[in-house]
Amino acid sequence: MSNTPLMPKATAVWLVENTALTFEQIGDFCKLHPLEVKGIADGEVAQGIKGLDPIANGQLTREEIDKGEKNQNYHLKLQESKVRLPEPKRRKGPRYTPVSRRHDRPNAILWLLRNHPELKDAQIIRLVGTTKATIQSIKDRTHWNSAQLAPMDPVTLGLCSQIDLDLEVQRAAKDRPAALASEDRGATLLPADVTTQRHEDDAPSSGRKDSLDLETVFAKLGGARKSEDEED
C-alpha cells in the first residue's frame, strides 16, 4: 500500500483549513515540503483546488488528527483503505492512438526502424498502434507519403512511454541470436606481431633488386667515361 494519500495537495488544503496541525505535520503526511504547505495557507499555492476530506474517504480518523493537534511531534498515520482497487490489466493487441496523433505514426515507425532495427514488427505494432502492412510499406519505401517522412521519436510524439520502449528493446536484445550480435561488432584487427612480421622471401628479393640497380648504374658510368677517353 502506498504511504501517500490520494490527491495530496487537495488533502493538504483541507487539513490547513480545518485542523490545527502544523505545516510540518501536514507536509509529512501529504509528502509535501513544509514551505509548500505554508504557501497553501497563504493562498500562494494550490489556488482553485478544492479541499479533500481525508476523514470522509477513510484515509484519516478524527482521533488521529486530535493526537496530532495535541502533540506537534506526532506523525499522522495513513489508515488502510477499505476499498480495493483492481490492478490495471495490460492491454493486448495494438495500442490505441488518438486521432490527432495518427498522422505521426509513420514518422515514429521510420525512427524505430532506423534506431532499433532489432525490434520485430509485432513490437512496433504494440508501441505505436499500427499495422504490419504499414510497417512493410515504410520498409519498402512504397508508403504513399514516403518522400515526406522524417524519423521522429515516438516517446516525444506521445505515442508510447519511454518505459514501454525500453522494455521492448530489452526483449528484442534477449531474443537476438548471439552469432548475429557478434557479427555486428565487425571484424577484429589483426595482432601487431602478425601485421609487423616480415616475410622471409622479402629481404633476399629486395637485396637482389638493389644489387642489380647498382650494377646498372656503374655500367652506365663506365660506358660514359670510356666514350669521353675515346674523344680525347
Question: Domain extents for the chain?
Answer: 8-70, 99-183
- Digit-coded pLDDT (tens) for 148-204: 899 988 888 888 888 888 888 888 887 765 544 444 444 444 555 544 555 444 445
**DSSP labels for 80-144?**
PPS--PPPPPPPPSSPP--GGGGGGHHHHHHHHHHH-TTS-HHHHHHHH---HHHHHHHHTT-ST
Q: Give CA 11 to chain center in angstroms.
A: 35
3-state helix vs strand vs coil in the chain, percent to 5: 55, 0, 45
As a whole-number percent, the residues of the chain with pLDDT over 90 amount to 28
In this predicted structure, the answer to whether residue 63 has a pLDDT above a threshold of 90 is yes
Q: Which residue has the higher pLDDT, 121 or 46?
A: 121
Cell numbers placing 50: 478544492
pLDDT, mean of residues 83-88: 52
66, 56 in Cβ contact below 8 A? no
In the chain, the N- to C-terminal Cα span, in Å, equals 119
**CA atoms of 110 and 65, how far apart (whole Å):** 57
Q: What is the mean pLDDT of the chain?
A: 76
CA distances (Å), origin 197, targets 2, 70, 201, 209: 68, 88, 12, 21
Instruction: Provide the pLDDT for residue 130.
Output: 86
pTM, to two decimals: 0.39
